[in-house]
Amino acid sequence: GEWSELAVCPCVGRTHPAFLEANGVIYVGLGNNNGDLKDWWAYTIETDSWKAIAEFPGPQRHHPYQFTIDGIPYAGFGHHQSDIYNTLYRYNVDDDTWTQMNDFPGEGRVAGTQFSYNGKGYVLSGQGEDHTNFEVGEFWEYDPLTDSWEVMPSHPGSGRWAPGSFLIENEVYFLAGRADEGDKND
């Protein structure tokens, strides 16, 4: 295979942003560039073009969680300096606005992993409000129909900073990250 460079985002470069796709549009925002950001950008795949869209409504942050449910982008959590958030927002594609959802019932969280499946969003692992790994690998399910969260079985061991995950059919694969005992390769 070959790589092809596409249109470059006119936004500032950043680390640790939100990055997700919905209906042929890639959304990127938040992150850090010598300070946390709260801008939000849309890249249309079909036209290979970028545009600035409605700014994220909460405080600037990096290491957020994000997922897309039925073509609707969601982003939240993350941190700015010592503040770690438990808030989640929905981006309304049709009118370029944001809606704050009900607060997450658990501890604010940062730098975990996330995915969506079968009409629901999931957040897995990461660190809590004290910026240390969770005692257990917390796993939560978000239902947009009821705007509510349900706790799921934790992964083995402590929470992990910056793990990865992916979904194949109906199975979640979870790997790597930094656990209490150090960087993992499992």
Write the DSSP assignment of 2-17 as a string of letters.
Answer: -----PPPSSPP-BS-
Q: Is the pTM of this model over 0.85?
A: yes
Q: How far apart are CA 2 and CA 149, in angstroms?
A: 41
* Radius of gyration in angstroms for the set of CA atoms belonging to the chain, rounded to a whole number: 16
- Residue 129 is predicted with a pLDDT of 96
**What pLDDT digit, counting tens, does each position of 10-30 carry?**
999 999 999 999 999 999 999
According to the model, what pLDDT value does residue 128 have?
A: 96
Pairing label, strands 164-168, 79-80: unpaired
Count of other CB atoms within 10 angstroms of residue 57 = 14
Identify the band that residue 133 occupies on the pLDDT scale cut at 50, 70 and 90: very high
User: pLDDT tens across 67-122, in order?
Assistant: 999 999 999 999 999 999 999 999 999 999 999 999 999 999 999 999 999 999 99
Gap between the Cα atoms of 172 and 165, Å rounded: 7
> Can you give the pLDDT at residue 72?
97
Percent of the chain with pLDDT over 90: 100
Element (H, E) at 154: strand 148-155
The rounded distance, in Å, linking the Cα atoms of 33 and 80 is 12
Nearest to 89 by CA among 105, 106, 102, 107: 102
Question: For 31-41, what is the mean pLDDT?
Answer: 97
- Tens of pLDDT, residue by residue over 59-69, are 999 999 999 99
CA distance linking residue 186 with residue 178, whole number of Å? 11
Which pLDDT value is given to residue 121? Answer: 98
Q: From residue 157, how far is each of 123, 172, 177 by CA, in Å?
A: 16, 17, 12
Q: Which residue has the tokens 């992916």?
A: 166
